Amino acid sequence: MAKEQATYSHGHHQSVVSSHARRTVHDSAAFLAPHLQPTDHILDVGCGPGSITADFASLVPRGRVVGVDAVPSVLDQARALAADRHLQNVEFAAVDANALPYPDASFDVVYCHQVLQHVSDPVGILREMRRVCKPGGFVAAREADYGGFAWSPASPGLTRWGELYQSQALASGGEPNAGRVLPAWARRAGFAPESTQTTVSSWCYTGERARQWGDMWAERAVQSGFAKVVKEKGLGTEEDLQAVSRAWTEWATKEDLFFNVPSTEILYRVPPASTDPA
């Protein structure tokens, strides 16, 4: 059975999980939402703390949503969120996405968000996602492109952070610029280009939200899995990380802050089984 070989370099420090828990269908799956039906059966791959998963459940009141993640501990937070929102049509399971434990054609929609950049075989996971999606259903993915991040004011410390992020992501077996290669991965997975819609959207932070982003990364730079990988792989020292953290803190105090996080989205309509070439 396939098993994930890459390291999830972000880790699950509270600064990471809290940031992920702010994500919603509105800001992370708007390209997919218009296609959802109230009776859909949805699989959310790499669901983390479950905020997007819970939103899906609210949008398919007569359907069912399954959120899966490789890390059991983060699923406890997802279950608590679903309970707080009194959602009865959602469940969570610890699963390795390289070998989804579901029969062929089990779901109407299969979705993953910011997952493929962290795995060793993104093409294989896309194939698995398509395998468990019903003919006529949708496979959707959204991936950031760290090489396309933009910010203002300029900061040498943030530039150094970007260099370290690229290095540690590659050293962990992932692809930090996944957004720009996501369409190629989809094609290699057998997603016919004529059946695949490709779009780009961004998280664009200004004002207080940009300050929160800066303060969050100031903490992650020294506390999260990012810091651990940088040191263990010999990519930087504790002093380097402290300098990056200070740079984020200083940046977050400036006026007219701007930070843009672009992500590429693919939306693949699974054709009838008789016409699916793979």
pLDDT band at 230; cut points 50, 70, 90:
very high
Q: Considering the domain boundaries, does residue 72 fall inside one?
A: yes
Q: What is the CATH number of the domain that holds 221?
A: 3.40.50.150
Average pLDDT, the chain: 93
Helix 178-188 / helix 122-131 crossing angle, nearest 10 deg: 50
What domain range is 91 assigned to? 14-269
Interatomic CA distance for residues 259 and 210, integer angstroms: 6
Question: H/E element holding 243?
Answer: helix 238-251
pLDDT band at 209; cut points 50, 70, 90:
very high
Segment 45-88, tens digit of pLDDT: 999 999 999 999 999 999 999 999 998 989 999 999 999 999 99
Q: Considering the domain boundaries, does residue 275 fall inside one?
A: no
Flag whether pLDDT at 114 surpasses 80.
yes
Instruction: Identify the pLDDT of residue 227.
Output: 94
Instruction: Identify the pLDDT of residue 16.
Output: 59
- Are 103 and 41 in contact, with CB atoms under 8 Å apart? no
Which residue type, as a one-letter code, is found at position 83? A
- Are 198 and 179 in contact, with CB atoms under 8 Å apart? no
Q: How many CB atoms lie within 10 A of CB 222?
A: 18
Q: Considering the domain boundaries, does residue 240 fall inside one?
A: yes
pTM of the predicted model as reported, rounded to 2 decimal places: 0.93
Instruction: Identify the pLDDT of residue 27.
Output: 93
Segment 241-273, tens digit of pLDDT: 999 999 999 999 999 999 999 999 999 999 987
Flag whether pLDDT at 276 surpasses 80.
no
Q: Considering the domain boundaries, does residue 124 fall inside one?
A: yes
What the block records as the tokens of 131 is: 């395998």
Q: Considering the domain boundaries, does residue 7 fall inside one?
A: no
Give the rounded distance of the alpha carbon of 193 from its chain centre: 22
Q: How many CB atoms lie within 10 A of CB 106?
A: 17
Q: Which residue, among 60, 66, 25, has the nearest Cα to 40 in the 3D structure?
A: 60
Supply φ then ψ for residue 31, to 5 degrees.
-70, -20
Average pLDDT value for residue range 78-102: 96
What the block records as the tokens of 138 is: 């949708």
Segment 157-198, tens digit of pLDDT: 999 999 999 999 999 999 999 999 999 999 999 999 999 999
Q: Considering the domain boundaries, does residue 188 fall inside one?
A: yes
Beta bridge partners of 112: 45, 141
Percent of the chain, pLDDT > 70?
92
Q: How many degrees, rounded to 5, is the angle at CA 59 between CA 56 and CA 63?
A: 85
Average pLDDT value for residue range 98-108: 97
Query: What domain count does the chain have?
Result: 1
pLDDT band at 24; cut points 50, 70, 90:
very high
Flag whether pLDDT at 153 surpasses 60.
yes
- Are 239 and 108 in contact, with CB atoms under 8 Å apart? no
Instruction: Identify the pLDDT of residue 12.
Output: 66
Q: Considering the domain boundaries, does residue 133 fall inside one?
A: yes
- Are 172 and 9 in contact, with CB atoms under 8 Å apart? yes
Q: Considering the domain boundaries, does residue 56 fall inside one?
A: yes
